[in-house]
Structure 1
């Protein structure tokens, strides 16, 4: 079966950022060195090297539409793919020993508060109250926004550092068991792990691992250490992730392709531990703080997209599928101008594309996955198309409560699936009849019972261009601004082709006019 990685990844509730393969950094000087910005191959024009942020407000989209068609759509900033995947897994009865590592099921279920991936200078907001009205859950008892997250993190500001004990290696005689009943390692502040890492902070606990923030005594910098739970299957999957990370590093020894820097791994008290570089926050956190419901400006999106596609070009070169790309798995540095592709936990060789309808977090799941069509690198390009839409609009592009309604949401925007594509899908009969009419499985608003409606999408009712440009064309945009936005629409159109064979590749994306603009 397809083994997924063990990490605390993805997104958490709206009050917490991703505790991923990068830890918080309290100061730029403490962070691990970041790669120098690189100009995309075959992109002689403007690159993200030119992207500088004087203040965080520079990320904001001041040209956001005021009368767009999606003003009431769910906010991308508030969506939690982690709890969504947990609920989806529960609904479909997965989660046994051999199934608990299914696509993205490793995501965070209990994390610390927002400051765990943020610089000391930024004060985190209070955790958001539970939302009693879950627009995504399939029933009221399965509210993915109702997760009761505990504030387990220690303060990150400098005054709190004095409370951390001096480094000391713990002796087996000091306790009866290193682990809790669920197999998590009992982390203690001040503990010296591997004779090198001084634990500063317990960052959170996910389904398959916990993450701590530690000072590397050899470098003086901060690192994130992911500690895998005591479980042979989880350890095996973690070793697979490590193998992929090492393969990517070997192909990019100079750290130019914007994939998270994996430093090393070791065993501690029977737990596999993985050490990663420091970064600041993920792109969903960026949306929450600087682009809630309005998105980021095209200048920032261009810089981020260039770096994302550079990362995808490395994955493609190494024949690796990421298989869980979303804003939560894209981290930026403290200056917000350098991005890294993170969370290789769902990654695998492209040859291991076993048919599974729940691969990738649902709102970023390509249609070929849902239809049971053999997939390839194009699934990652689809996910990035969805992500870039979110970054610009602050809204989620495709929102279906389940796979069936995801197919409907996609058709409403992108039109009918080509019959030839549908006939290739082993799971097509679950969603289409013999005449390839779509069978929309819905809930009767009066009786609450499941009903099936036959729908025919003659043309998109909420097309991509309208959703992206709603209201903008009437606001006095200059010719240059209109052209730039049209180029962005075209790039997304190429990323979101229903036929995966017609989607652009990362190299083609880097050569696209939106990303390869001449310098002014």
Structure 2
């Protein structure tokens, strides 16, 4: 029994000790939960509570001052950033002014900043960063300024070379009288005349990089970019200047290096499939003309050869001095050229028409611009056969031939023949005699009105053949004049029933021959008769080139010579 009692007492004691341990653990956990998280104030022996409160207040003020300094530091850093960005942008834009440089600036500004907390950066670190950015900015400016200097040097080099080339061309090609203008009345005088359009459009490019590009020789419209000094066709021809530009091609003056530096003219066709086919057609017609005129007597320009150059079909012609338009501006403006030149030029032009009719070719674009004159001004040649065609290939079109020289059958849509060239030649002869254009309508409708002002009403039997007759005449064959209303600005149509001729060709011709003697009066009368017969409204009644050559205006002038 005693042993059992001892065991029970031991068991109870151990249980009590366990319970006490659990209570102590619970009490310690409660104490930890209620424990303050803020660090305790340092215990200083001999300090009262008031002193401790004062120390606590000073510490709070110091903490506030530290926070203010941190905010100021942030504001300073932001200002530095914004100032550097603005200064970099303004300097780059001022110094360069190009989009490429602006892109470089934007890239540099968008670079990530160093991964640092600016709240913890000291003033020395900030100064170092600002100094580094200044150095980077200087390096970029130096690089961009160096590029700018290079580009300026290249541009200056191009401008200087261009000016030097133009000066050399002017010295070689332009005559002395351009610096001292003189009034010349006799067109057969020994003084020379050069067209103003020789050099103005010609440029030269000495840049090696651009000269190596494969597409640098054409402009956006397919014309060949003419450069003075270009050598074409296996170093045979050297381009000297630009003579003119038309719908189909450029025409340049060149030097033939194989024939004692003789001059020739090269027609460079546009780089276009349609223009190329037109050029081939012109070559075929010119070869046929050359074969029919082997002795070069009938005043059509001679085709010497042809070749391809950088995708352009090139036609080589004999060189002539200027076109008839320039001759009229210089020697016959508003009064016409003298009688001797007039009869000589008219006869040569009619000889060319007679040859074309003999071989069945219609030129379809005779005007002073397409007639060339030699340096002595005594020989005339018909040129520019780009619109020419065989007699069987013609199709009605209202816009064939330049408008001022367009025959009525073309406007009305009547099948046309060689007589359209006779009409254009008559307009050209009148212009040579008076220095003024015969018909100056602003449209096909106005051209018909001009015809009827001189020749009277167009007969109904002619109108009935016209494919485009309804555009200009009503069912009664009364003319429908298209006008612009002065108030509204809209186009209106006026029916004109009675048309009475208001022009007298005889009076117009006599104005150009003031104080004419008996012989000149006879010439004026003959010229008036010739022009009226060449300008017959019915193409079947119009004179042929052979008949024109037999007319007294041409025949009697030859007999007096």
What is the deviation of 1:470? 4.7
| Structure 2 contact 453–499 (Cα < 8 Å) conserved | no
1:510 aligns with 2:549: yes
Deviations 1:52-92 (A, max 9, x none): xxx963249xxxxxxxxxxxxxxxxxxxxxxxxxxxxxxxx
What is the deviation of 1:269? 2.1
**CA distance 1:121–1:433, shift in 2 (3 Å):** closer
1:478 matched to which residue of 2?
Answer: 517
Match of 1:303 among 341, 344, 350: 344
What is the deviation of 1:206? 4.0
Please report the RMSD computed on the Cα atoms of aligned residues, expressed in angstroms.
2.9
**CA distance 1:484–1:187, shift in 2 (3 Å):** closer
Match of 1:294 among 331, 335, 348: 335
| Structure 1 contact 201–214 (Cα < 8 Å) conserved | yes
1:76 matched to which residue of 2?
Answer: none
Match of 1:348 among 389, 412, 421: 389
| Structure 1 contact 184–230 (Cα < 8 Å) conserved | yes
| Structure 1 contact 412–463 (Cα < 8 Å) conserved | no
What is the deviation of 1:350? 1.2
What is the deviation of 1:27? 11
2:156 matched to which residue of 1?
Answer: none
Deviations 1:134-174 (A, max 9, x none): xxxxxxxxxxxxxxx992137xxxxxxxx999xxxx99993
| Structure 1 contact 164–190 (Cα < 8 Å) conserved | no
What is the deviation of 1:463? 2.9
Match of 2:217 among 145, 161, 179: 179
| Structure 1 contact 215–222 (Cα < 8 Å) conserved | yes
SS at the partner of 2:393? Answer: coil
1:246 matched to which residue of 2?
Answer: 287
Gapped runs of 5+ residues in structure 2?
Answer: 1-171, 176-182
| Structure 2 contact 336–512 (Cα < 8 Å) conserved | no
**CA distance 1:173–1:398, shift in 2 (3 Å):** closer
What is the deviation of 1:349? 0.5
2:534 matched to which residue of 1?
Answer: 495
Match of 2:315 among 274, 285, 292: 274
**CA distance 1:122–1:374, shift in 2 (3 Å):** closer
What is the deviation of 1:178? 4.7
**CA distance 1:471–1:243, shift in 2 (3 Å):** closer
Match of 2:239 among 199, 220, 237: 199
2:490 matched to which residue of 1?
Answer: 449
Match of 1:223 among 252, 259, 264: 264
Supply the distance in 1 between the matched residues of 2:252 and 2:507 (Cα, whole angstroms): 44
| Structure 1 contact 264–276 (Cα < 8 Å) conserved | yes
| Structure 2 contact 452–499 (Cα < 8 Å) conserved | no
| Structure 1 contact 326–364 (Cα < 8 Å) conserved | yes
Supply the distance in 1 between the matched residues of 2:282 and 2:469 (Cα, whole angstroms): 31
What is the deviation of 1:201? 2.4
1:265 aligns with 2:306: yes
1:153 matched to which residue of 2?
Answer: 202
2:250 matched to which residue of 1?
Answer: 210
**CA distance 1:443–1:27, shift in 2 (3 Å):** closer
2:142 matched to which residue of 1?
Answer: none
Supply the distance in 2 between the matched residues of 1:121 and 1:205 (Cα, whole angstroms): 23
Supply the distance in 2 between the matched residues of 1:465 and 1:456 (Cα, whole angstroms): 26
Supply the distance in 1 between the matched residues of 2:226 and 2:237 (Cα, whole angstroms): 12
What is the deviation of 1:451? 1.3
**CA distance 1:393–1:122, shift in 2 (3 Å):** closer
**CA distance 1:466–1:231, shift in 2 (3 Å):** same
Deviations 1:325-383 (A, max 9, x none): 01111111111110001111110001112010000000100000000100000000000
Match of 1:412 among 453, 458, 461: 453
**CA distance 1:236–1:303, shift in 2 (3 Å):** same
**CA distance 1:412–1:310, shift in 2 (3 Å):** same
Give the TM-score taking structure 1 as reference length. 0.67
Judging by fraction of residues, say which structure has more helix: 2
Q: How does 1:36-55 map to 2 (within 5 A)?
A: none
Question: Radius of gyration: which is bigger?
Answer: 2
What is the deviation of 1:26? 5.9
Larger RCO (CA within 8 A; separation ≥ 6): 1
Supply the distance in 1 between the matched residues of 2:307 and 2:517 (Cα, whole angstroms): 56
| Structure 1 contact 431–440 (Cα < 8 Å) conserved | yes
Supply the distance in 2 between the matched residues of 1:204 and 1:123 (Cα, whole angstroms): 13
Deviations 1:260-291 (A, max 9, x none): 11111011222111101111111111111111
What is the deviation of 1:468? 2.2
| Structure 1 contact 414–463 (Cα < 8 Å) conserved | no
Match of 1:321 among 362, 367, 374: 362
**Alignment coverage as a number of residue pairs:** 376
1:459 matched to which residue of 2?
Answer: 500
